[in-house]
Copies of this chain bind each other. A is one copy, B any other.
Amino acid sequence: MSTDVGGATELWLLWKRANEVVRADVVGDMTTQTGLSEPDLSVMVQLSDAGGMLRQSAIAARLGWDRTRLSHLLTRMEARGHVARTRVTNGVEITLRPAGQRVVEASLPGLEASARRHILDKLGDDDAKALRRILDRLLSGDA
């Protein structure tokens, strides 16, 4: 009755597990340090990276999210005073407000440290390089 789990399935389970653990570690650090949720920070990093302003559709594209999820999230972020919405031709423009800018700048060093500790520090230089290569390969849409 025992199910013989195949090689690809086993890799999938391992992948999923590693992800949950790493994510829980990093996100745990982040929320205790900044009180910021992970999706909030994802959006604000994109905004900050782009100079503080992006089309909503551009954010969705960069993060690979669907419109609905982003719209709901932005509603909450707007309520927190971190971003502002402005109707423009062909869409909506999202700007990072001062409070948002402050909070993202305060968060980035901690995020860097956390990512280093929970990912980079566990790997040697070779594996770190290999991991980047592998992740890139998994992301290239050739399958």
Interface positions of A (Cβ within 8 A of B): 1-3, 5-9, 11-23, 26, 42, 45, 48-52, 63-64, 104-105, 108, 111-123, 127-128, 130-140, 142-143
Dominant SS among interface residues on chain A: helix
Cross-interface CB contact of A116 among B8, B45, B104, cutoff 8 Å = B8
Query: Once bound together, how far apart are the Cα atoms of A132 and B100, in whole Å?
Result: 38
Q: Are B11 and A111 in contact (CB under 8 A)?
A: no
A52 touches B1 (CB 8 A): yes
Query: Could you tell me the distance between the alpha carbons of A42 and B138 in the complex, rounded to whole angstroms?
Result: 22
Contacts of A114 in B (CB 8 A): 12
- Pairs A–B under 8 Å by Cβ, sample size 24: A1-B48, A2-B48, A3-B48, A3-B108, A8-B116, A9-B45, A9-B108, A9-B112, A9-B115, A11-B128, A14-B132, A15-B19, A15-B119, A15-B131, A16-B23, A17-B64, A19-B23, A20-B64, A21-B138, A22-B138, A117-B143, A118-B143, A121-B143, A122-B138
